[in-house]
Chains A and B, each alone.
Chain A
Amino acid sequence: NAGVMQNPRHLVRRRGQEARLRCSPMKGHSHVYWYRQLPEEGLKFMVYLQKENIIDESGMPKERFSAEFPKEGPSILRIQQVVRGDSAAYFCASSPGPRDNSPLHFGNGTRLTVT
Protein backbone atom coordinates (compact mmCIF):
# COMPACT_ATOMS: atom_id res chain seq x y z
CA ASN A 1 0.00 0.00 0.00
CA ALA A 2 1.67 3.19 -1.20
CA GLY A 3 -0.77 5.52 0.55
CA VAL A 4 -0.43 7.55 3.74
CA MET A 5 -0.30 5.14 6.67
CA GLN A 6 -1.49 6.11 10.11
CA ASN A 7 -1.46 4.03 13.25
CA PRO A 8 -3.09 3.14 15.41
CA ARG A 9 -6.58 3.44 13.85
CA HIS A 10 -8.16 3.65 17.28
CA LEU A 11 -6.54 4.74 20.52
CA VAL A 12 -8.10 4.87 23.96
CA ARG A 13 -6.39 6.78 26.74
CA ARG A 14 -7.38 7.75 30.27
CA ARG A 15 -7.19 11.38 31.30
CA GLY A 16 -3.62 12.34 32.10
CA GLN A 17 -1.97 9.72 29.90
CA GLU A 18 0.06 10.40 26.78
CA ALA A 19 -1.08 9.71 23.24
CA ARG A 20 1.32 9.09 20.36
CA LEU A 21 -0.02 9.11 16.83
CA ARG A 22 2.14 7.97 13.92
CA CYS A 23 2.07 8.86 10.26
CA SER A 24 4.15 7.54 7.37
CA PRO A 25 3.72 9.74 4.27
CA MET A 26 3.32 8.47 0.73
CA LYS A 27 6.52 7.33 -0.90
CA GLY A 28 8.37 10.34 -2.29
CA HIS A 29 6.46 12.87 -0.18
CA SER A 30 8.47 15.00 2.21
CA HIS A 31 5.71 17.31 3.46
CA VAL A 32 3.40 16.22 6.27
CA TYR A 33 0.33 17.94 7.71
CA TRP A 34 -1.73 17.08 10.78
CA TYR A 35 -5.42 17.95 11.05
CA ARG A 36 -8.02 17.37 13.76
CA GLN A 37 -11.66 16.63 13.03
CA LEU A 38 -14.50 16.74 15.53
CA PRO A 39 -18.00 15.35 14.75
CA GLU A 40 -19.96 17.79 12.57
CA GLU A 41 -16.85 19.97 12.27
CA GLY A 42 -14.42 20.52 9.43
CA LEU A 43 -10.80 19.53 9.33
CA LYS A 44 -8.80 21.95 11.48
CA PHE A 45 -5.16 22.47 10.58
CA MET A 46 -2.71 21.81 13.38
CA VAL A 47 0.87 21.62 12.09
CA TYR A 48 2.90 21.39 8.87
CA LEU A 49 6.29 19.71 8.81
CA GLN A 50 9.04 18.85 6.40
CA LYS A 51 11.82 16.43 7.24
CA GLU A 52 13.36 17.56 10.57
CA ASN A 53 11.63 20.97 10.39
CA ILE A 54 8.39 22.44 11.67
CA ILE A 55 7.22 24.88 9.01
CA ASP A 56 3.91 26.08 10.49
CA GLU A 57 2.49 25.15 13.89
CA SER A 58 -0.04 27.96 14.10
CA GLY A 59 -2.97 25.56 14.58
CA MET A 60 -1.45 23.49 17.34
CA PRO A 61 -2.15 24.27 21.01
CA LYS A 62 0.96 25.65 22.69
CA GLU A 63 0.72 23.30 25.65
CA ARG A 64 0.68 19.50 25.75
CA PHE A 65 0.89 19.09 21.95
CA SER A 66 4.07 18.51 19.96
CA ALA A 67 4.97 17.13 16.55
CA GLU A 68 8.08 15.88 14.85
CA PHE A 69 9.12 14.45 11.52
CA PRO A 70 12.59 12.96 11.95
CA LYS A 71 15.06 12.23 9.19
CA GLU A 72 14.27 8.54 9.54
CA GLY A 73 10.90 7.12 10.52
CA PRO A 74 7.33 8.37 10.68
CA SER A 75 5.97 11.71 11.78
CA ILE A 76 4.71 11.67 15.38
CA LEU A 77 1.96 13.79 16.92
CA ARG A 78 2.27 13.64 20.69
CA ILE A 79 -0.37 14.73 23.15
CA GLN A 80 0.68 14.80 26.78
CA GLN A 81 -1.70 14.64 29.75
CA VAL A 82 -4.73 14.09 27.56
CA VAL A 83 -8.10 15.56 28.50
CA ARG A 84 -11.61 14.61 27.33
CA GLY A 85 -11.62 17.53 24.89
CA ASP A 86 -8.75 15.92 22.98
CA SER A 87 -11.10 13.15 21.82
CA ALA A 88 -11.28 13.52 18.04
CA ALA A 89 -10.14 12.02 14.77
CA TYR A 90 -6.60 13.06 13.87
CA PHE A 91 -5.73 12.95 10.19
CA CYS A 92 -2.31 13.09 8.65
CA ALA A 93 -1.77 14.17 5.05
CA SER A 94 1.28 14.34 2.81
CA SER A 95 2.25 16.02 -0.41
CA PRO A 96 5.29 16.19 -2.70
CA GLY A 97 7.34 19.34 -3.38
CA PRO A 98 6.12 22.93 -3.12
CA ARG A 99 3.54 23.44 -5.88
CA ASP A 100 0.29 25.38 -5.54
CA ASN A 101 -1.69 22.61 -7.23
CA SER A 102 -0.41 19.80 -5.01
CA PRO A 103 -3.39 18.19 -3.28
CA LEU A 104 -2.97 16.70 0.16
CA HIS A 105 -3.24 12.92 0.35
CA PHE A 106 -4.83 11.80 3.60
CA GLY A 107 -4.42 8.74 5.77
CA ASN A 108 -7.38 6.94 7.37
CA GLY A 109 -6.92 8.80 10.62
CA THR A 110 -6.48 7.88 14.27
CA ARG A 111 -9.59 8.07 16.41
CA LEU A 112 -8.55 9.09 19.89
CA THR A 113 -10.96 8.52 22.76
CA VAL A 114 -10.11 9.91 26.18
CA THR A 115 -12.00 8.29 29.04
Chain B
Amino acid sequence: GQNIDQPTEMTATEGAIVQINCTYQTSGFNGLFWYQQHAGEAPTFLSYNVLDGLEEKGRFSSFLSRSKGYSYLLLKELQMKDSASYLCAVRANSGNTPLVFGKGTRLSVIA
Protein backbone atom coordinates (compact mmCIF):
# COMPACT_ATOMS: atom_id res chain seq x y z
CA GLY B 1 0.00 0.00 0.00
CA GLN B 2 0.91 3.65 -0.22
CA ASN B 3 0.82 5.98 2.79
CA ILE B 4 1.78 9.64 2.88
CA ASP B 5 1.38 11.65 6.10
CA GLN B 6 1.40 15.40 6.60
CA PRO B 7 0.08 17.62 9.41
CA THR B 8 -3.45 18.77 8.69
CA GLU B 9 -3.03 22.42 9.60
CA MET B 10 -0.31 24.89 10.53
CA THR B 11 -0.27 28.58 11.40
CA ALA B 12 2.70 30.91 11.06
CA THR B 13 3.38 34.62 11.22
CA GLU B 14 4.12 36.88 8.29
CA GLY B 15 7.88 37.21 7.76
CA ALA B 16 8.66 34.01 9.68
CA ILE B 17 9.92 30.60 8.51
CA VAL B 18 7.75 27.49 8.50
CA GLN B 19 8.64 23.84 7.90
CA ILE B 20 6.00 21.42 6.62
CA ASN B 21 6.90 17.77 7.13
CA CYS B 22 5.94 14.76 5.07
CA THR B 23 6.60 11.08 5.76
CA TYR B 24 5.90 8.34 3.27
CA GLN B 25 5.74 4.56 3.03
CA THR B 26 5.35 3.47 -0.56
CA SER B 27 5.97 0.30 -2.54
CA GLY B 28 8.73 2.05 -4.49
CA PHE B 29 10.28 5.48 -4.82
CA ASN B 30 11.06 7.50 -7.92
CA GLY B 31 10.80 11.04 -6.67
CA LEU B 32 8.90 13.32 -4.29
CA PHE B 33 6.98 16.41 -5.36
CA TRP B 34 5.56 19.39 -3.48
CA TYR B 35 2.58 21.33 -4.77
CA GLN B 36 0.79 24.48 -3.59
CA GLN B 37 -2.99 24.71 -3.86
CA HIS B 38 -5.01 27.82 -3.12
CA ALA B 39 -8.66 27.25 -2.26
CA GLY B 40 -10.71 26.55 -5.37
CA GLU B 41 -7.69 26.54 -7.66
CA ALA B 42 -5.38 24.09 -9.41
CA PRO B 43 -2.41 22.58 -7.57
CA THR B 44 0.79 24.18 -8.85
CA PHE B 45 4.18 22.46 -8.88
CA LEU B 46 6.76 23.77 -6.40
CA SER B 47 9.65 21.31 -6.18
CA TYR B 48 11.03 17.87 -6.97
CA ASN B 49 13.50 15.75 -4.97
CA VAL B 50 14.87 12.35 -5.90
CA LEU B 51 18.30 12.44 -4.24
CA ASP B 52 18.94 13.04 -0.54
CA GLY B 53 19.55 16.64 0.40
CA LEU B 54 18.18 20.12 0.06
CA GLU B 55 16.89 21.76 -3.11
CA GLU B 56 16.57 25.53 -2.87
CA LYS B 57 14.37 27.64 -5.09
CA GLY B 58 13.97 31.23 -3.94
CA ARG B 59 11.97 31.46 -0.72
CA PHE B 60 11.05 27.76 -0.95
CA SER B 61 13.36 24.81 -0.22
CA SER B 62 12.64 21.11 -0.10
CA PHE B 63 14.59 18.39 1.69
CA LEU B 64 14.60 14.63 1.23
CA SER B 65 15.92 11.71 3.25
CA ARG B 66 15.19 8.48 1.39
CA SER B 67 16.45 6.24 4.21
CA LYS B 68 13.97 7.85 6.61
CA GLY B 69 11.10 8.19 4.15
CA TYR B 70 10.95 11.86 5.07
CA SER B 71 10.75 15.21 3.34
CA TYR B 72 10.04 18.76 4.36
CA LEU B 73 9.13 21.97 2.60
CA LEU B 74 10.66 25.11 4.06
CA LEU B 75 9.06 28.47 3.37
CA LYS B 76 11.04 31.57 4.31
CA GLU B 77 9.97 35.21 4.67
CA LEU B 78 6.34 34.20 4.77
CA GLN B 79 3.83 36.37 2.97
CA MET B 80 0.06 36.47 3.34
CA LYS B 81 -0.28 35.05 -0.17
CA ASP B 82 1.49 31.87 1.02
CA SER B 83 -1.71 30.91 2.85
CA ALA B 84 -2.67 27.76 0.95
CA SER B 85 -2.61 23.97 1.14
CA TYR B 86 0.72 22.28 0.52
CA LEU B 87 0.57 18.81 -0.97
CA CYS B 88 3.29 16.18 -0.73
CA ALA B 89 3.26 13.54 -3.49
CA VAL B 90 5.39 10.51 -4.33
CA ARG B 91 5.99 8.80 -7.65
CA ALA B 92 6.21 5.19 -6.51
CA ASN B 93 7.05 3.61 -9.86
CA SER B 94 9.45 4.56 -12.63
CA GLY B 95 8.48 6.38 -15.77
CA ASN B 96 5.58 8.76 -16.17
CA THR B 97 3.40 7.02 -13.61
CA PRO B 98 0.74 8.72 -11.46
CA LEU B 99 1.66 10.57 -8.29
CA VAL B 100 0.29 9.46 -4.91
CA PHE B 101 -0.74 12.47 -2.83
CA GLY B 102 -0.96 13.10 0.88
CA LYS B 103 -4.02 14.92 2.25
CA GLY B 104 -2.21 18.23 2.28
CA THR B 105 -1.28 20.73 4.98
CA ARG B 106 -3.39 23.87 5.22
CA LEU B 107 -1.09 26.77 6.11
CA SER B 108 -2.51 30.00 7.49
CA VAL B 109 -0.20 33.02 7.53
CA ILE B 110 -1.25 35.66 10.05
CA ALA B 111 -0.10 39.23 10.53
Contacts and interface: CB of A to CB of B under 8 A. Distances in A.
Nearest to B45: A103
Interface of B is mostly: loop
B95 interface: yes
Given A43-B87, A98-B95, A105 B45 contact: yes
Interface residues of B, number: 26
Interface of A is mostly: loop
A106 interface: yes
27 contacts: A31-B96, A33-B98, A35-B101, A41-B103, A42-B87, A42-B102, A42-B103, A42-B104, A45-B98, A45-B100, A48-B97, A56-B98, A91-B43, A98-B95, A100-B30, A100-B31, A100-B50, A100-B91, A100-B95, A101-B31, A101-B48, A103-B45, A104-B45, A106-B43, A107-B42, A108-B42, A109-B42
